[in-house]
Amino acid sequence: MQVRADALILAVRGHGEHGAIVRAMTAGHGLLAGYVRGGRSRRLRPVLQPANLVIGEWRARTEDQLAQLSVELIHSRAPLFGEPLPAAALDWVTALTAASLPEGHPYPAVHTALTGVIEAIEAAPAARGWAVALVRYELLLLAQLGFGLALDRCIVTGDREDLTWVSPKSGAAVSRAAGEGYADRLLPLPAFLREGGMAAWDDILAGLRLTGHFLERDLLTERRAETLAARGRLIDRLKRAVA
């Protein structure tokens, strides 16, 4: 097994005294893991920063063996980790992707969307510039992994208009009329997820609550506490930023 490709660093875990196991996202091969010799060294720690873009070269004798990985930095996003809100967003989106995707399966739509979210955070560190894209990325990830939400019509009446709720059990939309009297059992469906465009902060937070419910229930069934802690830090910082 030999792969050489541009890759986004997603997760880094120390291994042994000096090495690190790195998980990175490529366009053509999906999520790949590899062992970086000296990955905890002063020279390589700034390179192996989540959200950094690198050229990675994976080499293994068999497909079942953990590959040896060498990396060359293309673009560093380390300066963003000096800002609390962008840092929390990058921590979450990379941790989510690393925890959700199976290794060795290409997901080109996920790679494109992840690149777009990270670039949006870099281009506009203020959350209004990337928060909507982040919610849409979470929704896309659910769909790509087989847990997509059905937001195009009411599950009760079949109507396509005035969809204001989502069933937390089925993940399907519910119209205002069909949901009357059941609001406390349903999740709000913000308009921007149906109509596109920008969104007010209340709608963005509602969107994060919606996707968060299904991410926790359907995707993050392993390592859930560790990964969701990153999301909790992001939500807290968003709420403080817009208070």
Query: What domain range includes position 214?
Result: 81-242
Domain finish residue from 48, 76, 104: 76
- What is the pLDDT at residue 223? 66
- What is the pLDDT at residue 63? 77
* Amino acid at the residue 119: E
- What is the pLDDT at residue 222? 72
Q: Is there a contact between 231 and 90 (Cβ–Cβ < 8 Å)? A: no
Q: What is the pTM of this model?
A: 0.94
- What is the pLDDT at residue 181? 92
Same domain, 137 and 88: yes
Same domain, 205 and 140: yes
Same domain, 24 and 88: no
Q: Is there a contact between 10 and 23 (Cβ–Cβ < 8 Å)? A: yes
Handedness of CA 210, 213, 217, 219 (dihedral sign): positive
Helix runs in 78-223, H state only = 84-100, 108-123, 131-144, 176-179, 192-195, 201-214
Q: Locate 91 and state its tokens.
A: 């921590």
CATH number for the domain including 218?
1.20.1440.120
Give dist(CA 98, CA 32) in Å, integer. 10
Same domain, 49 and 154: no
Same domain, 97 and 60: no
- What is the pLDDT at residue 234? 96
Angle of helix 201-214 relative to helix 224-242, nearest 10 degrees?
A: 170
Same domain, 152 and 190: yes
Give dist(CA 141, CA 101) in Å, integer. 9
Q: Locate 158 and state its tokens.
A: 């079949």
Same domain, 118 and 66: no
- What is the pLDDT at residue 2? 93
For the stretch 196-225, what's the b/e string if a residue is b when 16 or more beta carbons lie within 10 angstroms of its beta carbon? eeebeeebbbbbbebbbebbeeebbeeeee
Same domain, 164 and 48: no
Complete edge-to-edge strand list for the sheet that includes strand 172-175: 150-154, 172-175, 163-166, 187-188
Same domain, 150 and 178: yes
User: Which segments in the chain show pLDDT lower than 70?
Assistant: 125, 223
Work out whether strand 150-154 and strand 172-175 pair parallel, antiparallel, or are unpaired: parallel
* Amino acid at the residue 71: V
> Taking Cα atoms as reference points, which of 144, 142, 112 lies closest to residue 211?
142
